[in-house]
Structure 1
Amino acid sequence: MKFAITSKGNSESNTLMHKMKSYLLDFELIYDEEEPDLVISVGGDGTLLYAFHRYSSRLDRTAFIGVHTGHLGFYADWVPEEIEKLVIAIAKTPYEIVEYPLLETVVRYQNGGKETRYLALNESTVKADDATLVMDVEIRGQHFERFRGDGLCLSTPSGSTAYNKALGGAILHPSLPAIQLAEMASINNKVFRTVGSPLVLPAHHTCMLKPVNEQDFKITIDHLSLLHKDVKSIQFRVAEERVRFARFRPFPFWKRVHDSFVAD
């Protein structure tokens, strides 16, 4: 089996990365940063997001596993004290593959230029460039509302515990094939009105944002922030691709939610 390791870059993460690499090579696994079967992320959720985007072109051939060296993360199954146990599991134990849905974002332009397509593991956000965001929101090709406010956030189920939760969105189990639309400080008064609640869309529904006046937008894809000019529309849906995680033991999602947000 071929493997690669990504590190947060701090001293603890780098030390663990080198130790794991040495142990796995001793078990005669092959280190291959270009075409790994397994990518081990050492750090936090941000480190795994980086690894996901680095290997997003081979999601059907690469599985991910996380070791967290900081605060408890939603993508990190293992802690530094379990490194030897994890190495033996990787080298000796067939692992289970768990797949979670991703968000597809397609940006199209006024000048007919080539559209751009992105995959997000957590979320994509849209904000106007130094102005109030005014967008017509379409669902399944039908006009739903005209949004006015700071911005909009489209998240995956596995990303629902991140920025989406801070916006008042629901926490969804990551196995659900769905995306969620949450508002950022919408303007609601006698003149302007939005639904004011997060929307959960199933896999066969598409959400389309169409600019009303402004055409330049700040669009984030997970940790990446990009300025797009002359935007005609921004389309969101559940992607055909899925992210694959390697599981060597149970990883109860609701316990992780409890430990992160409820437990003392």
Structure 2
Amino acid sequence: MKYSLLDRGDRLSRDLAEQFHQMAQEKELTRDDESPDIVLSIGGDGTLLQAFHRFRDRVGTVAFVGVHTGHLGFYADWKKDELPELLERMATLKPTTVSYPLLKVEIVTDAGRTVYLALNEFTLKSVDGTLVAQLNINDEPFEMFRGDGIVVSTPTGSTGYNKSVNGAIIHPHLEALQIAEIASINNRVYRTLGSSIILPKHHHCDIVTDPDEPLAVGIDHLVFQFQEVRSIICSVAPEKVHFARYRPFPFWNRVREAFIGWDENQGFTKKWPR
């Protein structure tokens, strides 16, 4: 098996990465940063996002594994003290591969067309202040938005920025995208639905803005500025991201542990008195 590893860059993550490389050599695993089978990230969900974008052109052929060094992450199955167990399973077991939807974002400007893939979300804001944009669904006008911005998320990304603006959490086996508003302003001129919208795989959303308005575009942790934007087309990507599972960790268990609180031995961290 060939692997590549990306760490967060702090001392703990670097030390864990060095330990992993040493143990992997003993297990006769091959480090290959060009064409790996498995890509490990050590740090947090942000580190895995970096790993995803580093191998974006090979997303169909690699599988990701996350090791978290702090709080439990949605993309990290393993804790920092479980490296020996993870390595043993990598050396002896064939993992179960789970595949999750990605977001395709096409930005059309006077200079041409740029295409991105997002693992978590795409965000759109105005550089100068309030964002004004027309939203079309399947080439039909739907609403005229005015407010702080728009976030379009994948199902796995629905637990992030999308949740903070009251979007729904979607199981990642559903091939869909979600459009959520960031502080919309509603009046007689600008009127929006006021809730998040979930579109299936065969639908798409076009966002049309004033081409004279400079825009701030976020693709996961990456931020860009665009000028002369004619339209932005969001759809479920034909590609998927793959994760190597060496043990089960259901999605709703991740949600419960992250937002509600759960102790394996005692149940919920807060209980009703008996």
- Structure 1 stretch displaced more, 201-210 or 23-32: 23-32
Partners of 1:85 and 1:129 in 2: how far apart? Answer: 47
Structure 1 residue corresponding to 2:221, chosen from 211, 220, 223: 223
Q: Which position in structure 1 is the counterpart of 2:103?
A: 103
> 1:15 is paired with a residue of what secondary structure?
helix
Which amino acid in 2 is paired with 1:178? A
Partners of 1:15 and 1:174 in 2: how far apart? Answer: 32
Q: Please tell me whether the aligned partners of residues 8 and 43 of structure 1 are also in contact (alpha carbons under 8 angstroms).
A: yes
Q: Which position in structure 2 is the counterpart of 1:123?
A: 121
Q: Which position in structure 1 is the counterpart of 2:202?
A: 204
Partners of 2:29 and 2:87 in 1: how far apart? Answer: 11
Q: Which position in structure 2 is the counterpart of 1:5?
A: 5
> 1:171 is paired with a residue of what secondary structure?
coil
CA-CA distance at 1:207 after TM superposition: 0.4
- Structure 1 stretch displaced more, 20-29 or 176-185: 20-29
> 2:172 is paired with a residue of what secondary structure?
coil
Deviations 1:24-59 (A, max 9, x none): 111111101111110110000000000000001001
Q: Which position in structure 2 is the counterpart of 1:70?
A: 70
Q: How does 1:78-227 map to 2 (within 5 A)?
A: 78-109=78-109, 111=110, 113-212=111-210, 214-227=212-225
Q: How does 1:30-69 map to 2 (within 5 A)?
A: 30-69=30-69
Q: Please tell me whether the aligned partners of residues 134 and 213 of structure 1 are also in contact (alpha carbons under 8 angstroms).
A: no
Q: Please tell me whether the aligned partners of residues 210 and 229 of structure 2 are also in contact (alpha carbons under 8 angstroms).
A: no
Q: Please tell me whether the aligned partners of residues 178 and 202 of structure 1 are also in contact (alpha carbons under 8 angstroms).
A: yes
Partners of 1:58 and 1:96 in 2: how far apart? Answer: 19
RMSD: 1.0
CA-CA distance at 1:175 after TM superposition: 1.2
> 1:116 is paired with a residue of what secondary structure?
strand
Partners of 1:173 and 1:136 in 2: how far apart? Answer: 28
- Structure 1 stretch displaced more, 153-162 or 12-21: 12-21
Q: Which position in structure 1 is the counterpart of 2:245?
A: 247
CA-CA distance at 1:214 after TM superposition: 4.2
Partners of 1:45 and 1:213 in 2: how far apart? Answer: 34
**Runs (5+) with no aligned partner, structure 2:** 262-268, 270-274
Q: TM-score, normalised by structure 1?
A: 0.97
Partners of 2:127 and 2:12 in 1: how far apart? Answer: 39
Partners of 1:157 and 1:140 in 2: how far apart? Answer: 20
How many residues matched? 262
Q: Please tell me whether the aligned partners of residues 167 and 180 of structure 2 are also in contact (alpha carbons under 8 angstroms).
A: yes
Determine what percentage of the aligned residue pairs are the same residue.
48
Q: Which position in structure 1 is the counterpart of 2:231?
A: 233
CA-CA distance at 1:91 after TM superposition: 0.5
Q: Please tell me whether the aligned partners of residues 118 and 219 of structure 2 are also in contact (alpha carbons under 8 angstroms).
A: yes
> 2:72 is paired with a residue of what secondary structure?
coil
**Runs (5+) with no aligned partner, structure 1:** none
